[in-house]
Chain A
Amino acid sequence: MGTATRAGIQAPRTRGASAAVPLDIRGGWRRRRHALAPYWFLLPYFLVFAVFWCWPIIDSALLSLQNTRVNPWDWNIAINWRRLLIDRAFHAALGNTLTIMAIQVPVMLTLATLLAVALNSPLLKLRPIYRFAFFAPVVVSDAAYSAVFRVLFNGQFGAVNHAFAALGLPTVEWLQDPNAMLSTVMVAMTWRWTGYNAIILLAGLQSIPRDLYEAAAIDGATPFDRFFRITLPLLKPILVFCLVLSVIGTTQLFTEPWLITDRGGPGGGAETLGTYLYKQGFVSMNFGYAAAIAYTIAGMAAVLAALNLVFTRGKQA
């Protein structure tokens, strides 16, 4: 190392470029250190990433090919995957998850879009209060709001049934009946996440150039036209982003059904892939089967995310 540096000093000197020499050498030094620097900056993150992301993704696949109900674990390529095909409880959990996804996500994103437009409107007064009302749930922890919704949707004296009774509607066993349980979970999720999506959509709305609307107003466009011909098309990429995030989030839904409906509810009426994974993995300690369920969740998320992207891109073209 020392000799190399010295040789480096001498070599240019023979060329006689005295003033430039030290800078040039320092430049070379620096360039080499510069070349290694990015790896040092990445190292801590990617170390944790390798151990707690990359390895688990590989290990999940390996685990799903083992029988983990015997000691020691035994390679058995089909056991968990075959069980997935015939396990009624798994199919019910999958069905519930897809039901929630098909109903809750579109309803929530529609509400979030309308809310974002309202919050963006110059006509709205008391804006800070409204922002607070809808954005505050963003900071509330899953466990806390699940506990609250469990109280509000109590079948006997919950606030929701009080309100139903006051409106002359029949009261509902929200935490007993399967459909009612799913509705409860969906209402809770909508309360928690509508504002979150509205924040993202609002940022999107604010990036739409104002002159587009002014030009449309001069052309005599109605507010209705403006929304469907300017706002919505320009908001689409961000809506797709929200859609993908929501879909991925829903595939692994766990805390809400677990805590609101008491571990997926009586008879598994609100069992989701998330709660079923938890039960198989960490109650029955059947890691292999849980890993197969986890891969199903990941596969579903990947396919749905890809479909969303392809579908929306196709429509745009």
Chain B
Amino acid sequence: MMLRTIGSRRRWGSWLLTGGLAPVALLWLAPLYLMGVFATLPDYAIFSPDLPLTPGGNFLENLAFLDGTANFGRAMLNSIGIATVSAALSLLLTSMAGYAFARFKFIGKQVAFSLLVATLTVPYAVLIVPQYVLVARDLALSNTWIAVIVPPLCHSIGVLFMRQTFLSLPQELLDAARIDGAREGRIFFSIALPLVRPSMAALAIILFLASWNNYLWPLLVATESGARTAPVALGSLIGLNVVPWGALMVGATLLTLPMIVVFIFLQRYFVAGITAGAVK
């Protein structure tokens, strides 16, 4: 009797929670759904007295307009290349630094580590003016990949994440290699790194995403139409006198959809990367 009441109360609670959350979830999905719908509509249909909720047939026209006006195809290629190189380089730098912090005792370790943690509270805005003066003005590197890729390479959260990962490796494994006479670089690349592949995957995804989504820095140093990244090219449409809304939504969709697909399959890694800094 008692058990049955509890059982039915649980069932009620379950329905209440699942049902109650549904409208909120729909509200949350609406912007992405409408983005996709609007990408397939001509501009006049996007803003009409009735909200259009079903896709139309104007996607290719919008796409062609987007590519013609904002050189979007080139911008997408730039973004893919830049995000890939950025993620790879940043992964290398942060893994090496994280390994040093996790696996060695050395003079200055405390200072270097405190410096790293302190940067977590430094807003990126404080760096941007001197970075621009240095890269664009003094070194005249505007519109090169170096300018877009190198300044944002440091992600202290990545170092902390990799440090945490390397701390969990059993010391005997590394010591065994050391006794066998392996050099430190070799131990790192052929023993330590392969052991932490899942963590590296998680971090690589987060780093790729950070570069892929970066707007402010490329906006400053990738100004020519052939050098722009996709978010910058997209933003340039908003600055036009007559904003091509359909083309704008196609661009937003192209920026978003690949990441959503990756997210569906690799959600675990995204979650691991995002929670890296918070939960120790």
Contacts and interface: CB of A to CB of B under 8 A. Distances in A.
Interface string B198-235: 00000000000100110110001000000000011011
Contacts of B264: 132
Interface in B239-277: 245, 248-249, 251-253, 255-256, 259-260, 262-264, 267, 270-271, 274-275, 277
A151 B62 CA distance: 16
A139 B259 contact: yes
A259 B125 contact: no
B186 to A, nearest CB: 11
Contacts of A305: 121
A290 B129 contact: yes
A46 B106 contact: no
A46 B245 contact: no
Interface in B123-165: 123-134, 150-154, 159
Q: Is the interface of B mostly helix, strand, loop or mixed?
A: helix
A308 B248 CA distance: 39
B13 interface: yes
B99 A148 contact: no
A46 B123 CA distance: 18
B100 A42 contact: yes
A46 B112 contact: yes
A133 B31 CA distance: 11
Interface string B87-126: 0000011101101100110100100100000010111111
13 contacts: A30-B178, A39-B106, A41-B188, A53-B154, A60-B126, A118-B17, A118-B21, A135-B263, A148-B32, A149-B31, A159-B30, A163-B51, A298-B126
Interface string A2-14: 0000000000000
A297 B231 contact: no
Interface size class of B (residues with CB under 8 A): 35 or more
The contact size tier of chain A is 35 or more
Closest 8 CB pairs of A and B: A38-B104, A143-B231, A56-B130, A59-B130, A141-B213, A41-B100, A157-B47, A252-B125
Interface in B19-37: 21, 25-26, 28-32, 34-35
A231 to B, nearest CB: 15
B18 interface: yes
Contact of B235 (A53, A252, A259, A273): A259
B14 interface: yes
A20 to B, nearest CB: 14
Contacts of B172: none
Contacts of B21: 118, 124, 130
Nearest to A33: B184
Interface stretch (A82-90, A100-108, A177-185, A241-249): A241-249
Interface of B: 10, 13-14, 17-18, 21, 25-26, 28-32, 34-35, 38, 46-51, 92-94, 96-97, 99-100, 103-104, 106, 109, 112, 119, 121-134, 150-154, 159, 178, 181, 183-185, 188, 209, 212-213, 215-216, 220, 231-232, 234-235, 237-238, 245, 248-249, 251-253, 255-256, 259-260, 262-264, 267, 270-271, 274-275, 277-279
Nearest to B209: A139
Interface in A124-145: 124-126, 129-145
A35 B106 contact: yes
A152 B34 contact: yes
Interface in A42-78: 42, 44-46, 48-49, 51-53, 55-57, 59-60, 63
Contacts of A63: 129-130, 133
Contact of B18 (A39, A48, A125, A158): A125
A154 interface: yes
B255 A144 contact: yes
A59 B215 contact: no
Contacts of A302: 121
B149 to A, nearest CB: 10
A314 B105 CA distance: 34
Given A143-B255, A152-B34, A301-B123, A200 B129 contact: no
A34 B184 contact: yes
